[in-house]
Amino acid sequence: MDQSGQPDNLHPILSDQVLYDGASVPLTFTGDGKLLFTGQRRRCLTVEKQVLGFSLEGSSIRVKAVVEKRDGICCFGSSGDLIRQSFVFEPQSQDSLTLWSQKLRDYIDSLGRPKRLLIFVNPFGGKKSATKIFSEDVKPYLEDADMHITLIETKHQLHAKEVAKTMDLSKYDGIVCVSGDGILVEVVNGLLEREDWSAAIKMPIGMIPAGTGNGMVKSLLHAAGELCSASNAILTVIRGYKRSLDVATISQGKTRFFSVLMLAWGLIADIDIESEKYRWMGSARIDFYAVQRVFCLRHYNGRISFVPAPGFEDCGEPTSYHGESTSEESQTQELSLKTEHHEYLGSDVKLENMCWRTISGPFVSIWLHNVPWGGEDIMAAPNAKFSDGYLELIMLKDVPKLALLSLMSNMNDGSYIKSPHITYLKVKAFMLEPGARVDDPTKEGIIDSDGEVIARGNVTYTGDQKPLMSYNKLQITVDQGLATLFTPK
């Protein structure tokens, strides 16, 4: 407060008479980062949220901003439809123009926004529209923000992972994926396979929805009350706010896969992966195949074990850790692995010292989720938090077919978890021992993580690649807040 009782941040940094829209009007830049001016009515731009950048044009300054489509400008609402709009002001002198430019530059620089981005565009993701989304809905915002960009169109599977693994990190302030979740997962895996993984994984990653599964960006924007659109997503990147994200390590022996979204076994994995054969149907393939699977419901033998979060200790039966041997020999092996390779090896939490619980099958579905949304219209884990260090476990054992259909139709708002057939809890660590189908022991299942088949047993689906892991016991640990994402505030 000053002597007049006004908070310091409301004092004008700069106040001037400028030409705007052919009239001489007062323009004020306040200490709390607002540009106030009067055109046909009084107007206010919040620089942090609305101003993308500015440029000097002769004796004028062009301020490039986003405003609500509804009424052109004024009170800024976060969930409204936003459009780009620029405002041209002409100060009375060259000195005044220089001062305006300096003050705006200093303020925008103080916001810590990214300036240099590496952008992956997957032309084959989703409806194959990522290139169009980038040029029409993303690039204009980046140009307004005067962002320096390096564009890479992914040419094949794992291309983004290869780049993330070898890129010169010092050249960028962030990585952006114009794609579905698949490219994000590749980038995270690439960064964690680097020798300098602990610094690399701090590189902020932004997501622009352009795939079939856009669960991560939907989770981020929905949490802020914003629509899942390319323009809201790129504004998130430009504004540069960051948040941390849990990373799960799925391991089987020395093989590891780093997951940021989910792991599924049983019904959800079967629908997700086997429906690929109906890809020509577009997104309807999922619903179409889900109905088929519900009517010919599969039950899988197997066992899950987990370390429950506080409050969920009553689920299952107590058991001791029965994962990878912690004998001296295996500790020596792990130590030599650590010295030979320097990539991330997963959380170093001591699993054998934790309180494990276990549940035996048969199971219809086992689903582990890291963030609330599995896709733009699947709220898989409504209570999931980005960086609480836990995964949500959604388990389905026996369930009547009609009840299953009904709960599956309530997946778009997360209310399905209230079904008495669903067991929903939070876990710190998890172990899956997948078995064969109850009705036909010669047939086994699929383990899907983040849209990748990481293991498959004896199943009809063959895919075009050998899975990373075998259809055997695997374990999952969570490293709290390991990765960094661009996020709406």
Ligand X SMILES: Nc1ncnc2c1ncn2[C@@H]1O[C@H](COP(=O)(O)OP(=O)(O)OP(=O)(O)O)[C@@H](O)[C@H]1O
CB-CB contact of 487 with 217 (8 Å): no
Q: Which of 114, 126, 266, 414 binds ligand X (CB under 6 A)?
A: 126
Q: Is 189 in the site for ligand X (CB under 6 A)?
A: no
Task: Please give the sequence-ordered ranges of beta strands (E in DSSP) within 348-390, or none if there are none.
Answer: 356-360, 365-369, 373-375, 378-379
Close Cβ partners of 165 (under 8 Å, ≥ 6 residues apart): 190, 191, 193, 194
Residue number, 144 or 450, with CB nearest to ligand X = 450
Q: Which amino acid is at 361?
A: G
Which range, of 77-85, 148-156, 337-345, 363-371, touches ligand X by CB under 6 A? Answer: 148-156
Min CB(110)–ligand X separation in Å: 35
Q: Is 180 in the site for ligand X (CB under 6 A)?
A: yes
Residue number, 82 or 453, with CB nearest to ligand X = 453
Which range, of 59-67, 88-96, 154-162, 285-293, touches ligand X by CB under 6 A? Answer: 154-162
Min CB(321)–ligand X separation in Å: 33
Q: Which of 157, 229, 326, 484 binds ligand X (CB under 6 A)?
A: 157
Min CB(125)–ligand X separation in Å: 2
Q: Is 374 in the site for ligand X (CB under 6 A)?
A: no
Q: Is 158 in the site for ligand X (CB under 6 A)?
A: yes
Measured CA distances, 271 to 80, 290, 325 (Å): 35, 6, 34
Task: Please give the sequence-ordered ranges of beta strands (E in DSSP) within 361-414, or none if there are none.
Answer: 365-369, 373-375, 378-379, 391-396
Q: Which of 80, 85, 96, 124 binds ligand X (CB under 6 A)?
A: 124
Active site residues: 181
Sign of CA pseudo-dihedral 167, 169, 173, 179: positive
Cα distance between residue 369 and residue 386, in whole Å: 10
Min CB(477)–ligand X separation in Å: 24
SS3 of residue 176 by DSSP? strand
Q: Which of 183, 191, 221, 268 binds ligand X (CB under 6 A)?
A: 183
Residue number, 273 or 407, with CB nearest to ligand X = 273
Q: Count residues binding ligand X (CB under 6 A).
A: 21
Q: Please write down the HEC assignment for all residues of 251-301.
A: EECCEEEEECCEEEEEHHHHHHHHHHHHHHHCCHHHHHHHHHHHHCCCCEE
| The pair of three-digit structure tokens given for residue 443, joined into one six-digit string | 């047939």
What's the chain's length in residues?
489
Q: Is 179 in the site for ligand X (CB under 6 A)?
A: yes
Q: Residue 126 — φ and ψ, nearest 5°?
A: 50, -125
Min CB(161)–ligand X separation in Å: 8
Instruction: Report which residue's Cβ sits closest to ligand X.
Output: 180
Min CB(376)–ligand X separation in Å: 10
Residue number, 348 or 464, with CB nearest to ligand X = 464
**Footprint of ligand X on residues 200-219 (CB under 6 A)?**
211-213
Min CB(213)–ligand X separation in Å: 4
Close Cβ partners of 162 (under 8 Å, ≥ 6 residues apart): 190
Residue with the two structure tokens 């199971």: 363
Which residue pairs, CB below 8 angstroms and at least 24 apart, start in 333-339? 337/254
Residue number, 76 or 124, with CB nearest to ligand X = 124
Mask for 407-446, x = binds ligand X (CB under 6 A): ----------------------------------------
Q: Is 129 in the site for ligand X (CB under 6 A)?
A: no
**Footprint of ligand X on residues 443-472 (CB under 6 A)?**
451
Q: Which of 16, 48, 173, 181 binds ligand X (CB under 6 A)?
A: 181
Q: Which of 154, 251, 365, 370 binds ligand X (CB under 6 A)?
A: 154
Cα distance between residue 425 and residue 368, in whole Å: 10
Strands 116-121, 174-179: pairing kind: parallel
CB-CB contact of 395 with 421 (8 Å): no
Residue 412, class by beta-carbon neighbours within 10 Å (0-12 exposed, 13-18 middle, 19+ buried)? middle
Min CB(467)–ligand X separation in Å: 14
Min CB(156)–ligand X separation in Å: 5
| CB atoms closer than 10 angstroms to residue 384 | 23
Q: Is 125 in the site for ligand X (CB under 6 A)?
A: yes
Residue 395, class by beta-carbon neighbours within 10 Å (0-12 exposed, 13-18 middle, 19+ buried)? buried
Residue number, 90 or 153, with CB nearest to ligand X = 153
Binding site for ligand X (CB under 6 A): 122-126, 154-159, 179-183, 186, 211-213, 451
